[in-house]
Each structure stands twice: as structure tokens, then as C-alpha cells.
Structure 1
């Protein structure tokens, strides 16, 4: 049986849901971690070797695990959170644990790029560490953050497709179930084209937004 257009649309919607929800929760997890990494590292406004070392180590551990292994390794946690280990909802949990630490690194990188003059201006105005981070640093790094968040979202698209190998739903599941297991070349080609279009569209949107922010 060949795949039909309704199945393709359903798979596309599932992928958008997985990536969208995972991205939101990954930002909620990764943004504070990235700020913490930056602020507590040596020479920064909240320098704390112990906190930096622990946070840095935890993030490195999660970033060292390939997504397909992480997907399987946290199945008990996934079941605990969403009640199942298969389907779109179940795929979101490992996607967040995969992308959250990655986003933390991207946030840290964006903040480290900020010119020292911004710190000097903030200190001259008597800003508190909280004000320096949220009123000076994050607005200054916004253009870079948009580019990095775009990269993270594209990574989530690739990971969501990989989740199809264990019944995660979406375009990846369609590619595995029909394209690979049933040797359906047409379906495989369609899924690849869909993923390419999604990535190209997101990258273009991210680049455009970043340019507008930087001009301001």
C-alpha cells in the first residue's frame, strides 16, 4: 500500500508539533543554563567556579550522547512524564533533553561575543548583575541568538526525523515505515524533499530576522 496525501499532511503536522513544542521547552531549559554558564565562568559578573564546573560537566555529558542512544536511554523517564514511549508526545521528551544543553552552549557563545564596551557602559551606569544580563547583554546578543536558535531548530528537525526509528511519529516515521521498510522510493523522496524545504525555509527566516535585528 502506497502512502497517500492525508498521511503525508498528518506526518508533517506531527513533525511541526514535535519541533515547535520541543523548541519552546528547550529554550525554557537552555536559556537559563546558558546564562548561568556565561555569568559564572572565570572573570564574569557572577564568577563561581563550583557552579560553572558542575553545570559545564552536566551539559557536556548530555551533549556527548548521540540522540538515538538518548532516545532509548530515557524511555523510563519518557513513560513517567507522558505515559508512553512511542508517538509524537513521547518523542518530545528526548528532543528537549537533546536540544536544551545544545541551546545552552549556543546562548553562552552568543553572550561571549559581546564587546567589552557593553560591560563597561553597564558598570558605569551602576547596573546590577541582573540588569546587566537582561537589559544590556541579552538585547545586545539578540541577533546572534536568533541565528543560533535557528540552528538549534534545524537540529531538532533532524532529530525528530530520527525519532521515527522508534515510532516517534512525523515525517521520520513515515520515511521508515513506508519508504524504508516497504521499499517505497517515492515516499522516501517526498519525505526528504519536505525536510529540505523545512530547513531551507527556517534558515532563510532566521537569517532575515537576524539581519533586521542587527540593523536596529
Structure 2
């Protein structure tokens, strides 16, 4: 569970982003309280700041999910759709899942600016905090960005994710590594890549790969 912590002014804006993306998790905690300090539109403007690509390296992240042109992805905690819209423009079938109806409405508004094929490829899904709500066998990958460390009862939650995944589907997690500093929450709130792997093993995942070098503050973990 996220605990209330004092952030520097520099980190406050970034942390609002991370807090908002607890979207499809378990109980509502302090992280969600932080989200309500600003309106959804104000937060979305920060989430979609073009400068985010400088450290998030979204193109590289998406390539690690797949280089295929035909792919189905379920994003947990999509927020404003920073990644989901990029994936839809790549040609993928994307479900942008979030339990906040305001973010769902915002993404539906943003869809109006997409081409007709892109609109058809991107769906939004209002979920709950306790259930990932992924239809069994429906997607090639489940994706989370800056969300994992917000989830309560992670082993239980990801058992549900695992049960929904078809054979050879993958789980891709991008989150903040302990000791890497920079943007993001303090170490006391981060979940290291090694702990993430241990928890996912307990949830039933067997195969893992972890990249700890490409992203300046984060790791990218893939599990099957």
C-alpha cells in the first residue's frame, strides 16, 4: 500500500502521475488521495508531457513488448492513455483499462482525434480496484507502466492476471528500481526488480527476463 510521504517540489508532479496509474488494482489507498489534488485534465496534461519520452523511452518500451504489427494488449492503469494511444497508432488492438471513470471519459474524448482505424483498435474499459477484469485468453500481452508498486496484495492480484492469460502471452512491467534515484517515488515506496520477480513467481509465472540498464530510473520485466 502506498503511504503518505513528503515529496520535493520536483518529484511532486511526477508522483501524481504514478499515483493516478494505480488504476486497476485493489483497495483505494493514499495513492489515490494524492491524485485528487488536481483535476484529471491537469494531471493528464502532465502525464502526456512530451518530455516524458526522454526518460520513459516509450518507443523502446513498446518494441520490447513486441515488434509485431498485429498484437492485442491490455494496459492496466492506463490513466490518460500515454502508452495505449501509442500502441493503437502502431496498429495493435489495445484495451486501456482504468477504474477512474473520468480517465475513461478523457480517453474517449482523445479518441475523437484518431483516424477511424485507430479508433476501432483502441477500446477503453472501466475496471475495479480488486479485479484486472481481463477476458480469459483475449490478449497477447498485459502491460503496466509505473503501476506495479501501487498494487496491494500483488501476489493475489497477479494470480488473477496469470489465470486470464493465454499460452505464450506475456506480462510486461515497467517500474522504478530501488537505488536509481531520479524521477519517481523514494526508495521506501519502490519495488525492486528482484522483489517483483519473487512475487510474480509466487503468483505462478515461470519465465522471466529483466532489463535494468536501458531506462535511467526503471527496469523492464517480462514474465510468462
* TM-score relative to the length of structure 1: 0.25
* TM-score relative to the length of structure 2: 0.25
